[in-house]
Structure 1
Amino acid sequence: MNRAQTEQAYARKSRIVGLAIAATVVVWYLGTTLVAGMGGQARFVFLIDLAALAAFVWIFVNIWRLLQLRRALNSEELR
């Protein structure tokens, strides 16, 4: 994989992570608001919270991988 392909992969992964952050926040907010507004049980709100937490763990892992990739690209650039 050459540098241009790595940069494209980095940009694609960054967009996916950004979309995942936005989608997680919107779905979490709407889900908890709608369930609570409709008089739903607390276990459904808790389930939505757990799903959002799992999504954020996935997001943080991918941000860590992106940071590692950026570090590798920058160190390669200095050589």
Structure 2
Amino acid sequence: MKEERNTSLKRQTRQAAIVIIVGFLGWMGFQLVGGLTGIPVRFAFLADFAMLAALVWALFVLVNVWRARRSEGD
């Protein structure tokens, strides 16, 4: 049972890390393309808010993983 829980926590941590990395790369890419092509500012704000939402989700997942590991005594 503990082995399954560790596997689940590792998977959640990996998911959060992937969301952070892909989010930042996508956000930076959008900012670069937007600056070069002159995309309206409202779309830049949309990209900013999407990135913030991804970071909040990742933070929520990582805090839950941290609390689960702490309660197990690892």
TM-score between the two structures when normalised by the length of structure 1 = 0.88
**Structure index of larger Rg:** 1
Partner Cα separation in structure 2 for residue 19 and residue 68 of structure 1: 20
Residue 51 of structure 1: aligned partner: 50
Matched, 1:38 2:37: yes
Partner Cα separation in structure 2 for residue 38 and residue 50 of structure 1: 20
Q: Which amino acid aligns with 1:65?
A: N
Structure 1 portions without partners, runs of 5+: none
The higher-RCO structure (CA 8 Å, 6+ apart) is 2
Q: Which amino acid aligns with 1:53?
A: L
Structure 2 portions without partners, runs of 5+: none
Partner Cα separation in structure 2 for residue 37 and residue 46 of structure 1: 16
Q: Aligned-pair RMSD on alpha carbons?
A: 1.0
Residue 14 of structure 2: aligned partner: 15
Identity of aligned residues (%): 24
User: What is the count of residue pairs matched by the alignment?
Assistant: 74
Residue 3 of structure 2: aligned partner: 4
TM-score between the two structures when normalised by the length of structure 2 = 0.94
The CA deviation at 1:22 is 0.4
Kindly indicate whether the alpha-carbon contact (under 8 Å) linking 1:36 and 1:45 is maintained by their aligned counterparts in 2.
Answer: no
After superposing on structure 2, the runs of 4+ consecutive aligned residues of structure 1 that deviate more than 3 Å are none
